[in-house]
């Protein structure tokens, strides 16, 4: 399904709400699947945003690993987990909303 994603954290730190709503949104097809993570040597639930015009995942967004649904409303939902950037893992949350919002 096509959604809009905004980050709620940067390098593990919570962003002020003003920065969350002012950051450029990322649009795409959100997919969540379970797969083997070679670094952790176990299966993890992974969320990825795919470019609408492409079959491959978006390079603009990191993957969200060990994904959990934290909150949900008719307007949006929040996914939480961790992201891997430059070999370091950081806590991350995504605010996901409908494309029309």
What are the boundaries of each domain within the chain?
2-98
CATH code of 2-98, in short, is 2.30.29
> pLDDT band at 51, cuts 50/70/90?
confident
Give residue 76's pLDDT.
95
Mean pLDDT of the chain: 90
**Whole-prediction pTM:** 0.89
% of residues, the chain, pLDDT over 70? 95
> Which tops the pLDDT comparison, 60 or 18?
18
Q: Does residue 8 surpass a pLDDT of 70? A: yes
> Which tops the pLDDT comparison, 2 or 21?
21
Strand-pair partners of 94: 7, 79
Give residue 100's pLDDT.
61
Question: Which letter, b or e, does each residue of 28-56 get, where b requires 16 or more Cβ atoms within 10 Å of its Cβ?
Answer: bbbeeeeeeeeeeeeebebbbbbbeeeee
Give residue 40's pLDDT.
92
In angstroms, how far is the first alpha carbon of the chain from the final one? Answer: 14
């Amino acid at each position: 399904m096509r959604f809009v994603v905004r980050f709620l954290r940067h390098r593990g730190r919570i962003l002020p709400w003003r920065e969350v709503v002012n950051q450029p949104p990322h649009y795409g097809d959100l997919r969540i699947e379970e797969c083997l993570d070679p670094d952790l040597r176990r299966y993890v639930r992974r969320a990825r945003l795919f470019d609408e015009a492409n079959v491959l995942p978006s390079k603009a967004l990191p993957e969200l690993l060990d994904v959990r649904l934290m909150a949900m409303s008719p307007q949006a939902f929040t996914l939480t987990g961790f992201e891997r950037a430059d070999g370091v893992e950081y806590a991350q949350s995504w605010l996901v909303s409908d494309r029309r919002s």
